[in-house]
Amino acid sequence: MKKVFTTLLGIIGVTSIMAQDIHFTMYDAMPITTNPATAGIFNGDVRGVINYRNQWASVGSPYKTYSLMIDGGLFKNKWKNGYIGTGLNVYRDVAGATNFGTTKISLALSSVVYLSEKSSGAVGLLGSWAQNSINPNGLEWDSQFNGQFFDAAAGSNETITFESNNYFDFSAGVLWTHGTGAKTLSSHDEFAMKAGAAFYHVTRPSREVEFGDLDKLYSKLAFHVESHIGLANTKLALRPKFIAYLQGPARQFSGGMLFRYMLREESKYTGIFKEMAISFGGYYRFGDAFAPSVEFEIASFAIGFAYDMNVSDLTAATSGNGGPEIFLRMINPNPFTYGKGTRSSARFR
């Protein structure tokens, strides 16, 4: 029964993945996968992030996602009315017993315009190349059961032919940001907010992996908002966030709240001591999973970890175990001090 369940889960998983995109619990750590207009919008000149996600390992072959993102701003603090954001995102996603895989390379370009001393707007475009692949050797067929045991060397007697598929994809997004710096060096009452919308898979590319035009990728709408709220005269800040994905018949709504505590401030004059902060809290995907998370920041570096605990009907098979996710991030120069007193002072990483 376990093999039957695993095989069914693999088939269902392949169908689901073909119809929908990958997702991250800590989606705000990989912003280009949420909205191409976010490219280059952060405190600093260059940002690099790597992310690894492992899901549902407790019920069979896990879903594994590896992702790399690099972005930056051109002419930041040089152009009077804005700057250009650029970004690269590469991910590899492998799922189920068939190792159904998607490799995708995306290039983002955004135009950021200063609307006022405290607000800016951005429009972004994303062009992508992707390849789907599948390995049917992991499937098990009735003809491979010899009456006593399963024989993997026996022929399947199946004539289905799976082939890799390449396609191009295009997406677009808009973003609004607003931020105010702290009133004094020690008040820590800075405020930042950004909200945006994106439209992915404009041309609905085909993702066929077998004969015929079996599947087209649904277009996807994404709506997101997040904020950083520094509590005056304390070392604590609130970081609420929310995102909604609408893709074909699928709906996903996620919310999160992180509490950020400043462990050590940047030395004001020598710069010898680097600012350190820790954030803790969690994310909740409605009807699916709750994920406690923690993030540690020191100067230009940050590491974050979350663990999905399944709360859907799949709990019967997973025992509540979803899977871990981890990201590593580096921003140059130090985002704690970059552009203090300017439009870039909002604490978005």
Q: State in Å, rounded, how far the first CA of the chain is from the last one.
A: 47
Mean pLDDT, residues 19-30: 80
Mean pLDDT, residues 309-323: 71
- Is the pLDDT reported for residue 334 higher than 50? yes
pLDDT on residue 230? 92
**Which residue did the predictor score with more confidence, 259 or 265?**
259
- Name which of 6-20, 223-237, 288-302 the model is least confident about: 6-20
Angle at the Cα of 178 from the Cα atoms of 177 and 183, rounded to 5 degrees = 150
Separation of alpha carbons 90 and 131, rounded Å: 12
Q: What residue segments make up the domains of the chain, in order of their start?
A: 2-233+242-251
236-247/165-180 β-pairing = unpaired
**Which residue did the predictor score with more confidence, 32 or 101?**
32
How far from 316 is each of 58, 310, 313, 322, CA to CA, in Å?
A: 11, 10, 6, 12
How does pLDDT run across 105-117, given as a tens digit for each residue?
Answer: 999 999 999 999 8
Phi, psi (5° rounding) for residue 327? -135, 150
How does pLDDT run across 135-194, given as a tens digit for each residue?
Answer: 766 666 666 676 666 666 666 666 566 667 788 999 999 999 998 887 877 778 889 999
Separation of alpha carbons 224 and 175, rounded Å: 9
C-alpha torsion sign, points 17, 18, 19, 21: positive
